A and B are shown apart, each in its own frame.
Chain A
Amino acid sequence: MFGFTLQESLFLGFCSLLILSTKLLLRLNLKVPGHSMFFLILFLLLAALCVRKPWSATMAAIMAGLLGMFTGSGKLGPLGIVSYMLPALVIDFCMPFLARHRKSLAAFACVGFLAAGARAPVSLFSEWMIGMDLQVLFLSTAIKTGSGMVFGALGALPVPALLTKLEARGLLSTTNPDNSGAAS
């Protein structure tokens, strides 16, 4: 499917379901704005770095958006797919940079920060279209996106350590197309 094997597609699907379920779980228990970006960025980065193919994070984000739509967990409906896709596109564009700096926490934090900030256009667009005053609009988006960017950077920090542990256990080689499941 779009150049991914069945095993890779299923792994991306599970990542997208983990994103949705952690988001639902935290929404029940925490009342901190932007906290859902922590697991969104964490699982999108893991999806991209475990599968190691172009557009892996975007594929996981599209699946998360679609699954969010038909499980009723998203409150933005079709716009929810775009709000998942924008951070994933940033991550996919930054993959060559991350591949060169696999051990750098600062590089991962930067990418997490930028990816979380990429959600701002969705908020800006929807609130601008309903006629909100521009100054209030920018302040509102800054508050919502700012805390999300901090959580996004925090969510990216554990990724290098997790990847090292997965590589040490020999798990990442299983996503190699040469020895994975059926081509999809």
Chain B
Amino acid sequence: MLSGASRHTLRVSQTHLIVRISAAFGLSLAAMLWHGPWSLICLTLGVAALGTAVGAHRQPWKRFVLVFIWQVALILTLYLLRYGPQSLPEGLRVAYRLILLVLPGVLLMRSTHHGDMARLLVRVLPARMGFVLSTCVFFFPTLWGVTVQTYESQVLRGARILPRELINPVNMGTLVRVICLPAIVTSLALAKDIALAAHCRWYGLHPDRTVWPGPNPSNTTGEPRA
């Protein structure tokens, strides 16, 4: 479920990824801080260049376009109600600038393989946080599979938790009782099992990274190495 971006992305080197992140961050920052007369044109060209570089044409954009339409409609409606029709160009300008603020991040995140981003993050993050995050991502399909099975079983039992029934807030209580509680119980049990397995392999014996049983074949005791 969380790896949807990978179907439409190509793997890139860490250097490319750092350049992309810097470009997206710079464009977002410029959309916030640069209000000069040529700013919108330059930013549009910059975002278009970033989109071309990351292969934006391969992405399924329908969902994000819907989000942007909602934002633009809200801002235009508020400008119209507060200042009348003569303020619509100003409203459009602000809405467009908001899109330019968000779009570089969306382009970057949707077009980057999560494995590439994870490797970059693990380099920056402390070793143990990297281990916890990657372990959680690795084992999450197990937890999600149990949750989906529980959901299907509860729907067959007649629980009112289908998407169209969840629009009624009363049914959200049922969803929490029959889906969230088992999900929390499963995640507690899974976390305990994984921690026990890691503990048995001397995880945490040294403050930095350890491997088990160790890269040296003569190390028959399996003593962890930093």
Contact = CB atoms under 8 A, between A and B. Distances in A.
Contacts of B91: 136
B109 A74 contact: yes
Given A11-B191, A17-B137, A181 B67 contact: no
Interface residues of B, number: 79
A10 B82 contact: no
Interface string A148-184: 0000001001100110011001010011000011111
Could you tell me the dominant secondary structure of chain B's interface residues? helix
Given A1-B126, A13-B132, A127-B98, A175 B188 contact: yes
Contact of A182 (B33, B129, B133, B195): B195
Interface string A29-70: 110110000110010001000100000000000010011011
B196 A181 contact: yes
B185 A18 contact: no
A154 B33 CA distance: 37
Contact of B2 (A24, A127, A180): A24
Interface of B: 1-5, 24-25, 28, 31-33, 35, 63-64, 67, 70, 74-75, 78-79, 82-83, 90-91, 94, 97-98, 101-102, 104-106, 108-110, 112, 114, 117-118, 120-121, 125-126, 128-129, 132-133, 135-137, 139-140, 143-144, 163, 166-167, 169, 172-173, 176-177, 180-181, 183-185, 187-188, 190-192, 194-196, 198-199, 203-204
15 contacts: A7-B192, A13-B132, A13-B136, A30-B166, A50-B188, A63-B133, A67-B137, A71-B2, A71-B3, A71-B5, A72-B5, A72-B112, A76-B102, A126-B32, A180-B192
